[in-house]
Amino acid sequence: MSLTSIILSTGSYLPSKILTNADLEKMVDTTDEWITQRSGIKHRHIAGENETTGDMALHAARKALENAKLDPQDIDGIIVATTTPDRTFPSVAVKVQGDLGVKPGLAFDVQAVCTGFVYALTVADNFIKMGQAKNILVIGAEKMSSLLDWTDRTTCVLFADGAGAVILQAKETDDTLSNKLDGQGIHSTHLYANGSKRELLQTTGGVSTTGGNGVIEMQGREVFKYAVSYMADVVAETLAYNGITSADIDWLVPHQANIRIIESTAKKLNMSMDQVVVTLDHHGNTSAASIPLALDEAVQGGKIKRGQMLLIEAMGGGLTWGAALVRY
């Protein structure tokens, strides 16, 4: 018997405070026109001062449980992708586990910045395929606003806060299907990192260097070039690995960093923008939270339907990048 991980449900949370491009015009030397044209962002959500990544992760997890009609006791694993934990330790995952009242089971954080959710999904998928967990909460949650220098116009207009969650459930693989890709679940995941380019996008400090968190510094133009090329490579690899073409994909669900990067990937795939989930205009770049937030919005909004094929992809600090092919 072999096991597959299916996406049983999704859930998400956005803080109530909305920061518009017009608000940013009053804070730094920027314009709505520049932000819109260069990034595609119009407004974004920013967490309250006392609202933590863990709080947002908990809200998203509760929604995913509600949508799955599962009880917290049914969860036997929690993996949180985040770069902005409440504390250096313990992990956000154990906070979620404790506050939800989930029974003891695996719980830990994964840190791969904007690719974090694809990494966490891959790790969870592997636990499930090995038969080591049945229902795993996979969460992407970030309070990127706490890592920003609000006087640096090259970064503070881009990043934002929020959380998204999925519940992955173990299901016996349907061996009767003539084409295994017709089956529901995660069909493949592809992960990469290129540490020689880590200085292109990093924080100015950390626990064992400055003793503080530091703030984000990014060589945007360089990161942009790598993003376009890595995204093109990893989506091509995902299609080739599964022996399919982009005509077999119903939805591209990309990391929401820059509309021009997303458009470039869609163009290389020969996919219309109507088949791309875009939430960047109203979410901004929420790092590891961006894909589960986009996924949940598209599922709850009735865009993504059961049985459809999703191509998920992300790229971020590290540099890290990755993709997943999933039949929802």
Going by C-beta distance under 8 Å and a sequence separation of 6 or more, which residues neighbour residue 126? none
Written as six digits, the tokens of 191 are 């992960």
Q: Interface with ligand UT7 includes 114 (CB under 6 A)?
A: yes
Which residues lie across from 185 on neighbouring strands? 327
Instruction: Give 285's DSSP letter.
Output: B
CA distance 263 to 37: 13
Whether 242 is catalytic is no
Six token digits for residue 179: 């084409």
67 counts as catalytic: no
Residue 117 Cβ, how far from ligand UT7 at the closest point, in Å? 12
Closest separation between CB of residue 33 and ligand UT7, Å?
9
Nearest to 14 by CA among 51, 45, 54: 45
Is 157 one of the binding residues for ligand UT7 (CB under 6 A)? Answer: yes
Please report where in the chains the tokens 């395929």 appear, as a residue.
129
Decide: is 321 part of the binding site for ligand UT7 (CB under 6 A). Answer: no
Which residue, among 214, 243, 229, 198, has the nearest Cα to 313 in the 3D structure? 229
Round to whole Å and give the CA distance between 33 and 195: 34
Is 30 an interacting residue with respect to ligand UT7 (CB under 6 A)? yes
Options 59, 255, 258, 283, the catalytic residue: 255
Residue nearer to ligand UT7 on the CB measure, 73 or 151: 151
36 touching ligand UT7, by CB under 6 A: no
Using CB under 6 A, pick the residue from 168, 261, 278, 324 that binds ligand UT7: 261
Stretch that binds ligand UT7, among 127-135, 253-261, 291-299, 305-313 (CB under 6 A): 253-261
The structure tokens listed for 169 are 């459930």
Q: Interface residues with ligand UT7 (CB under 6 A)?
A: 30, 34, 38-39, 114, 153-154, 157, 220-221, 223-224, 227, 257-258, 261, 285, 315-316
Catalytic site positions: 114, 255, 285
